[in-house]
Amino acid sequence: MTSKWSFLFIAMGKCTIRLIKDIRTLRECDVQSLTDIFFSLVSFDPNNSRLASVQGEIRVGGLYQAKLPPMERCSAVDEPDRDELQWRPGYINEESEHVYKRATRSFRMFAMVRNEQITQMERDFRTGDLCMHDAIITLHKCDYNVNYAIEAMNKNDEHMLKVANFMSVDDAKKFARGIKTYGKNFLKIKKELLPHHRRDELVQFYYGWKKTRDATRPKPLARQRNTATATHRKPKGNQLKASRPGSTDLADYASASETEMEELENDGRAAAYACHHCYTSKSKDWHHSGRERQLLCTECR
């Protein structure tokens, strides 16, 4: 019997001591019903003259080691998100390349002219840079075989004419009115003006529409003017300087996203001026440039 138990025997008389490792294993009935029974959480280790660990012992050896599964080997080919080569410059002679580009553009233009529902603006957009992009990608996928690439482009054009939901003249006018009213908030334009068009279709149409003459700059957000009003006249030497007259060129949010515009409108933190080139709202001074009198910062002027 250890000295601790001897002291307990002298103080309480004959009793029983039970050693437990975790107090959570005890039940309420065990503590209340049993008499002359004590429970000990800490035990004394006579080998090293120290208290034994409450958390248990550390087991070392091969029997107590975790069995790890074999490591999976992966290579760069197994990674799904990787850059993909889409064009090899100089892989085809220049003359054949020009003939292929002219042929694909002519075939697409002929296919779109037969569809009277497509507006001239969308024809110009789809037979311009977009047609050039599709032709280059298709030629690379066909291993630079011009005949196979032209045949694949014709099939893609036929599929596009069947599936795509083209803008009518009235839809294009509504879209322009929506851009002027709501900016680039395509969700709101879809909800209020064009519910039969998907959001991705509106975004795609915007990038072709903004290069045309009918494109209108989005409505600038209203700014708050802080005008100081003098309550009384002061001497000539201490007169307050007249505040700078407000400029009609407000912040241009043509490239702002929907969430950025909504946050600016809700928080009331819309900048009074914004550079048309780099879209910064901080500059030492502002300058107007070009025929359209676009607002530029000091670094972009």
Q: Which tokens sit at 241?
A: 């300087």
Read off the amino acid at residue 202.
Answer: L
- The pTM for the full model equals 0.45
Average the pLDDT over each of 24-38, 70-84, 243-257, 271-285 and give the range with the smallest value.
Answer: 243-257
- For the ranges 5-14, 137-146, 213-222, 244-253, the maximum mean pLDDT occurs at 137-146
Q: Which residues 6+ apart lie within 8 Å of 109 measured at CB?
A: 123, 127
| Residue 255 pLDDT | 47
182 vs 3, more confident: 182
Nearest to 205 by CA among 156, 172, 169: 172
Kindly provide the b/e burial profile for residues 208-235, where b requires at least 16 CB atoms within 10 angstroms of the residue's own CB.
Answer: bbeeeeeeeebebbeeeeeeeeeeeeee
Average pLDDT, the chain: 73
- Residue 154: its H or E element: helix 146-163
Half-sphere exposure in the Cβ direction for 9 (13 Å, CA): 9
Looking at the predicted structure, is the pLDDT value of residue 237 above 70? no
Looking at the predicted structure, is the pLDDT value of residue 275 above 50? yes
What is the per-residue pLDDT across 203-232, written as a single tens digit (0 to 9) for each?
Answer: 988 888 887 776 755 445 555 555 444 444
| DSSP one-letter code for 272 | S
C-alpha torsion sign, points 135, 138, 144, 145: negative
Nearest to 118 by CA among 72, 77, 157: 157
Average the pLDDT over each of 2-16, 50-64, 81-95, 233-247 and give the range with the smallest value.
Answer: 233-247
1 vs 282, more confident: 282
296 pLDDT band (50/70/90 cuts)? confident
CA-to-CA dists, residue 173 to 5, 141, 301, angstroms: 95, 38, 34
d(CA 24, CA 93): 82
What is the per-residue pLDDT across 74-101, written as a single tens digit (0 to 9) for each?
Answer: 766 666 777 788 888 888 898 999 999 9
118 pLDDT band (50/70/90 cuts)? confident
| Residue 148 pLDDT | 93
d(CA 212, CA 204): 14
d(CA 283, CA 34): 83
What is the per-residue pLDDT across 133-168, written as a single tens digit (0 to 9) for each?
Answer: 999 999 999 999 999 999 999 999 888 888 878 888
180 vs 139, more confident: 139
What is the per-residue pLDDT across 45-70, written as a single tens digit (0 to 9) for each?
Answer: 666 666 666 566 677 777 778 888 88
